[in-house]
Amino acid sequence: NAGVTQTPKFRILKIGQSMTLQCAQDMNHNYMYWYRQDPGMGLKLIYYSVGAGITDKGEVPNGYNVSRSTTEDFPLRLELAAPSQTSVYFCASTRDYPYEQYFGPGTRLTVT
């Protein structure tokens, strides 16, 4: 199993540009999550999904959108990128309780 994969690994965006961060898992997990990690900080939940077709906001959803059309994929869309969105983005997935989440390697995004 590849586990949780994320692309791209690095990206530089200009202010106002848009992009999609890709996340895929091959473990048949129902639950998927997007987090952001700012330097020296913990992880904050952006959006999550409990199954295909079902998504909900986390702690810091503003400026982002998600979709979940399949069990495997959970892309994160950034519209009108802002410098405040400079961060490392992690995708994670889990099957069910106790919800032991498996994380991808992350995408490092810089908005200038």
Give residues 49-68 in contact with another protein (rule: CB under 8 A).
50, 56, 58
Residue 6 beta carbon to another protein: minimum distance, rounded to whole angstroms:
8
Piece of the chain touching another protein by CB under 8 A; list 19-27, 41-49, 66-74, 76-84: 41-49
Q: What is the DSSP string of 98-112?
A: T---EE---EEEEE-
When asked if residue 72 is in the footprint of another protein (CB under 8 A), the reply is no
- Identity (one letter) of the amino acid at 23? C
Residue 80 beta carbon to another protein: minimum distance, rounded to whole angstroms:
26
Range 34-71 burial, b when 16+ CB lie within 10 A, else e: bbbeeeeeebebbbbbeebeebeebebbeebebbbeeb
d(C-alpha 29, C-alpha 71), whole Å: 7
Q: Rule CB under 8 A: choose which of 21, 106, 109, 111 binds another protein.
A: 106
- Contacting positions for another protein (CB under 8 A): 4, 31, 33, 40-45, 48, 50, 56, 58, 90, 92, 94, 96-106
